[in-house]
Chains A and B, each alone.
Chain A
C-alpha cells in the first residue's frame, strides 16, 4: 500500500483497523519531504519534533478509543502566515525571519484538538502579496507538474505540498485568489470560504476586508472534512460569523449553473477555455441547466482590488517598525531612522510597492479618486453577483486565464502579475466562497474550474464539486 496516496478517510480507516500507525504515516511524509522538497521548495521549515510528538499522542488516542475524529493522526502543512505556537512564522519576509509565534491561530487550535499532525510551514509570496511565490524572500516554490514553472501564489507552498505528496492536506489563505490560483496551477482542490466563515485569529494580516483561511486537499471530500473543522464562530475574530456547516445533497440534475460571459472573453488561453467548457458540458450532460449570465463590473475588479488591498496593507504593515518584533536595523541613530531603515531593509519590493500605492491612494487629495471610488465599484461588483444568484444556484468559470507560467516570466512586471487574478478577485471583493476543482489538463498542465457559490453556501459548492469530480 502506498501510504502517501491515501486520502483523509482512507487514512482514518487504516488507523482504525490498525493497518498502520500515525507515527508510520508521519515518518513516511517527513521522509518524502526530505527526499523531494529540495526540488519543489514547498516548505520553509519543518516541525519534525512537533509532528512526531503529535503522532505519538494520536496513536495513544487511537489505541484507547474505537471512535476518534477523522483528522486524528493525519499529517498536514500550514502556510507560513498562520501562527503555530513556539514555531517560526516568517510570512515569507526577512522582516519576520526569526519571529517565533507566541500563540496558536484559532484554525491551528481546532486542528490540534482533532489530533491532526503539523509537518511544517509552507512557502508564500511575502505577506501573501503575489500570484507565483516568486515574491518570497526565501525561495521559489516550483510546480510539481513542471519544475520550470511556478506553483502559483500566494499559497504556492501549501498547494505544491499536497500536489507532490508532501502533505495529506494543507492550509492557505486567499485574499484575491491565493488559494484558488495555486490549486488550479498545481492540480489540487482548494477552497476559498465565504468572508467570515473561518476565523483569521493568528493569520498574519494582508488586507483585512478580504483575507480568509481555507484548505487544500487531494479531493473534494478531504477539503470538506477540513473545512468543517476550521469553520465556525470564534470570538477572537470580530468579522467571524456564527456558521454551522451542514452537508448538502444538492445534485447536478436540475441545478441552475450560471456562466459569466465576461469570463470567457479576450485573454483566455484557448486550451484552458476548452478544458473548462468540457467540464461545463459534463455538468450539463448530468442534468444541470446552463444559463449565460453577465457580471459586467468584473472588468473593474483588478483595479478595484489593487487600490483596496494596498490601502489596507499599508495600514496593516505599519506594525513592522523594528521596535516590537522582527528585524531592526542596528545602525539607526534615532527613532525615525529605526522605522525608515528597518522597513527599508526588512521589507521586500512587493510589500514596499503596495505600502507606497496604499499610502498614495489614502493620502490627502487622492482619497476620493482612488479609495472611495474603489469602494463604490466594489459595491457594483458585489451587486452583479447578488443579482446573478437570484437566477442561478452556482456560477462556473475558469480560475485563471492560463496554466502555470514559467519561473521569471512575470517576475519583473508587477502589473502583469496582478492581472493573473482577473477571474478570482471579483469573487473576493464580493466576499463569496469559491472552489478550484481540477478539471483536466491543457498542454500537460492542470486547469482548475472555479465553482462560485452564494454566501455561506460552501455545502452546495462542495456537494456539486464532489459529483463533478467523479465525472471529469
Chain B
C-alpha cells in the first residue's frame, strides 16, 4: 500500500495539485495497480543489458524548412497570457 505522504510527494514531482479527496482516491487506485504489477516478478528476465529493446538513433540534417510566415504568430496566439508577440509568464525570481 502506497502511503498518503508518498502520493503527496509524487504529485508534487508531477506538478499536479490534488484535492484531499483526489489524494484518497489516488492512494486507493495506485495501490491496487501497483499490487497488480507484482505479477512481473514471476517473469523470467535475465538482467543483461542486451535484452532491452534494441533502439537506434535516427539522425537528420538540421535544415531550415519553409513554413508559412503566419505560423509563428499562430503559435504565440495559442498562449493563454501574451504581451504583443511574446508569451507572458509569472515572475520567477
Q: Which A residues are within 8 Å of any B CB, using their own CB?
A: 99-100, 102-103, 209, 235, 238-239, 297, 299-300, 302-304, 306-307, 314, 318, 321-328, 332-341, 343-345, 347, 349, 352-353, 355-357, 359-360, 363, 370, 372-380, 382, 414-415, 418
| Pair B80/A378 contact, Cβ less than 8 Å | no
- Across the A-B interface, the 3 shortest Cβ-Cβ residue pairs: A344-B17, A328-B80, A376-B45
| Pair A99/B78 contact, Cβ less than 8 Å | yes
| Pair B11/A299 contact, Cβ less than 8 Å | no
Complex interface residues of chain B between 35 and 93 (CB less than 8 A to chain A): 36-37, 39-40, 42-47, 51-53, 58, 60, 71, 74-75, 78-81, 87, 89-92
| A332 CB contacts on chain B under 8 angstroms | 90
| Pair B15/A375 contact, Cβ less than 8 Å | no
| Pair B79/A325 contact, Cβ less than 8 Å | yes
Q: Say yes or no for B1: interface residue by CB 8 A criterion.
A: no
| Pair B87/A238 contact, Cβ less than 8 Å | no
| A372 and chain B: residue at smallest CB distance | B52
**CA–CA, A111 and B52, complex, Å:** 37
| Pair A102/B13 contact, Cβ less than 8 Å | no
Given the interface pairs A103-B71, A306-B37, A343-B17, the reply to whether A324 lies near B26 with Cβ below 8 Å is no
**CA–CA, A254 and B7, complex, Å:** 56
| B58 CB contacts on chain A under 8 angstroms | 238-239
Given the interface pairs A235-B60, A376-B45, A414-B29, the reply to whether A334 lies near B40 with Cβ below 8 Å is no
| Pair A335/B14 contact, Cβ less than 8 Å | no
| A347 CB contacts on chain B under 8 angstroms | 16
- 17 residue pairs bridging A and B, Cβ less than 8 Å apart: A302-B36, A306-B36, A322-B80, A323-B81, A324-B78, A326-B80, A334-B91, A335-B90, A335-B91, A335-B92, A340-B15, A340-B16, A347-B16, A355-B14, A375-B53, A382-B53, A415-B32
One of B11, B52, B91 near A379 (C-beta < 8 A): B52
Distance (Å) between the CB of A429 and the closest chain B CB? 10
| B80 CB contacts on chain A under 8 angstroms | 322-323, 325-328
| Pair A356/B78 contact, Cβ less than 8 Å | no
Q: Which B residues are within 8 Å of any A CB, using their own CB?
A: 2, 6-7, 10-11, 13-19, 22, 25-26, 29-30, 32-34, 36-37, 39-40, 42-47, 51-53, 58, 60, 71, 74-75, 78-81, 87, 89-92
One of B14, B42, B52 near A356 (C-beta < 8 A): B14
| A362 and chain B: residue at smallest CB distance | B13
| Pair B78/A376 contact, Cβ less than 8 Å | no
| A343 CB contacts on chain B under 8 angstroms | 14-17
**CA–CA, A354 and B15, complex, Å:** 13
One of B40, B51, B89 near A304 (C-beta < 8 A): B40
**CA–CA, A291 and B37, complex, Å:** 31
One of A335, A353, A363, A379 near B53 (C-beta < 8 A): A379
| B22 CB contacts on chain A under 8 angstroms | 352
**CA–CA, A103 and B75, complex, Å:** 10
State the main secondary structure of chain A at its contact with B: helix
**CA–CA, A374 and B36, complex, Å:** 13
Distance (Å) between the CB of A470 and the closest chain B CB? 39
**CA–CA, A239 and B11, complex, Å:** 31
| A352 and chain B: residue at smallest CB distance | B16
| Pair A299/B39 contact, Cβ less than 8 Å | yes
Given the interface pairs A326-B80, A328-B80, A370-B37, the reply to whether A356 lies near B16 with Cβ below 8 Å is yes
Given the interface pairs A356-B10, A379-B51, the reply to whether A373 lies near B30 with Cβ below 8 Å is no
Given the interface pairs A325-B78, A328-B81, the reply to whether A380 lies near B29 with Cβ below 8 Å is no
One of A209, A340, A382, A414 near B33 (C-beta < 8 A): A414
**CA–CA, A363 and B7, complex, Å:** 12
Distance (Å) between the CB of B26 and the closest chain A CB? 6
**CA–CA, A335 and B15, complex, Å:** 11
**CA–CA, A335 and B93, complex, Å:** 10
| B7 CB contacts on chain A under 8 angstroms | 356
| Pair B89/A335 contact, Cβ less than 8 Å | yes
| B53 CB contacts on chain A under 8 angstroms | 209, 375, 378-379, 382
**CA–CA, A76 and B46, complex, Å:** 47
| Pair A356/B17 contact, Cβ less than 8 Å | no
Distance (Å) between the CB of A462 and the closest chain B CB? 27
| Pair B87/A323 contact, Cβ less than 8 Å | yes
| Pair B26/A356 contact, Cβ less than 8 Å | yes
Distance (Å) between the CB of B71 and the closest chain A CB? 6
| B90 CB contacts on chain A under 8 angstroms | 332-335, 337-338
One of A326, A339, A373, A380 near B15 (C-beta < 8 A): A339
| B43 CB contacts on chain A under 8 angstroms | 297, 300, 373, 376-377, 380
| A238 and chain B: residue at smallest CB distance | B58
| A349 CB contacts on chain B under 8 angstroms | 25
| Pair B39/A102 contact, Cβ less than 8 Å | no
| A209 and chain B: residue at smallest CB distance | B53
| Pair A352/B18 contact, Cβ less than 8 Å | yes
Known: A302-B36, A355-B16. 11 other contacts (CB 8 A): A303-B36, A306-B33, A306-B37, A321-B15, A322-B80, A325-B78, A339-B15, A349-B25, A352-B18, A355-B14, A374-B40
| Pair A344/B18 contact, Cβ less than 8 Å | yes
**CA–CA, A103 and B87, complex, Å:** 20
